[in-house]
A = this chain, B = another copy of it.
Amino acid sequence: MKEYQELSREELSALHAKLSGEYEEAKAKGLSLNMSRGKPAVSQLDMAMDIFDVFDSSSDMRTESGVDTRNYGELTGIPEAKRLMAEMVGVKAENVIVCGNASLTIMFDTVSRSMTHGVLGSTPWCKLDKVKFLCPVPGYDRHFAITQHFGIEMINVEMTPQGPDMDMVEKLVSTDASVKGIWCVPKYSNPQGYTYSDETVRRFANLKPAAEDFRIYWDNAYAIHDLYEDGGDSLLEILGECEKAGNPDMVYEFASTSKVSFAGSGIAALISSRANLEQMQKTMTLQTIGYDKINQLRHVRYFKNMDGLRAHMMKHAALMRPKFEAVLTVLERELAGAGIGTWTKPRGGYFISFDAMEGCAKAIVEKCKEAGVVLTGAGATFPYGKDPKDSNIRIAPSFPTQEEMAQATDLFVLCVKLVSVEKLLSQKD
């Protein structure tokens, strides 16, 4: 394929006419597809329906330690659920608190608590003039929304296939005491699907923060969400690395089963050092008498252990992989060599990240929407919703069927081409 940049004005005009025609035809089809959010498909949710056979009216609702999960108590979660979540991320159960249904809530509460009460005795952030977070970009919009809500200044850090630009991270963290945190999705990052390299994790663990209350917000959302059967990408376990590096309290890790069992009805965990967990427990004991232990027990009785989790996730993979591949096949066939876009080829997670020519993302998303395909809003993957290059688009293949994904991607590449041609034509004016 000839690169679009090398086409003459006449060739571009002819291409524009052709693509416009195709776009009008596509619009006439009246598509109605949504690939905006990392939402599980119905068939994927169906795979966990057996979980409702775990309990009936005659079930024994006690934990292995004899605690009645139907009553108050066990603020930090039942032992067997701690063990399950610990296995999921490769830590000891003593480093886990199992909470409610959403890791996002734990993250929000962690930032909120730091605002009102500080971190292990530090000054509450609401008493400080300036608090900053580093935000690897593109990244997860809901992370950025939390820090924005609390008036925390966000600083973009470039992502690479090995993780965030660690030169920049090290420099900012070690010199600026107002930098209190960094948002990370270390495995199958949102939206690229990158997994941080061992070197990146070690450099994180060896940071020398200027601020004693600096923490790494390690959102291990896709810890076991592989698309391929070979075990997937491997991520170095950070708690252990931090301990080795003499920074045992530097990381808050978050995980959940929202994309394992049910979105919104799973269990979520906070993983950290004993010192951090003990501080958090002091607040938790005011915030709740306990999380939903019945749902914790339900998950343990159903998944049992890491083998059970893995087996279940391989069923997901069998369903998700063709959807990802449907997207990648169309992108490859239609855009390879055209010089108007690059994209990632994840081996897990929920997203594909697409970078269009500069200044084209908003127009592409708009054009897709007009023809019935909803994508994540352009800019959403950046703090304050501002993509400085207006280039990044997040593709979420999980919810539609494989056929719908192929259809939606056909439209997507058409819009990429059309907008790119318009951009190139306008540059020749």
Contacts and interface: CB of A to CB of B under 8 A. Distances in A.
Nearest to A51: B57
B150 A264 contact: no
A374 B265 CA distance: 36
A52 B45 contact: no
A93 interface: no
A265 B126 contact: no
Nearest to A115: B116
Nearest to A49: B57
A18 interface: no
A18 B337 CA distance: 100
Interface stretch (A7-15, A20-28, A81-89, A291-299): A291-299
A287 B149 CA distance: 10
Contact of A70 (B45, B59, B112): B45
A143 to B, nearest CB: 10
Question: Interface residue tally of chain A, by bracket?
Answer: 35 or more
A71 B262 contact: yes
A164 interface: no
Interface in A109-138: 109, 112, 115-117, 124, 126-127
A105 interface: yes
A124 to B, nearest CB: 7
B101 A292 contact: yes
Contacts of A42: 68, 71
Contacts of A283: 149
A53 B56 contact: yes
A193 interface: no
B295 A71 contact: no
Interface string A142-163: 1001100110000000000000
Contacts of A105: 287-288
A158 B34 CA distance: 58
A265 B294 CA distance: 6
15 contacts: A39-B72, A42-B68, A48-B70, A52-B56, A53-B57, A70-B262, A71-B263, A102-B288, A102-B289, A104-B288, A108-B286, A126-B126, A263-B290, A264-B292, A265-B294
Interface of A: 37, 39-40, 42, 45, 48-53, 55-59, 61, 68-73, 100-102, 104-105, 108-109, 112, 115-117, 124, 126-127, 142, 145-146, 149-150, 258, 262-265, 283, 286-295
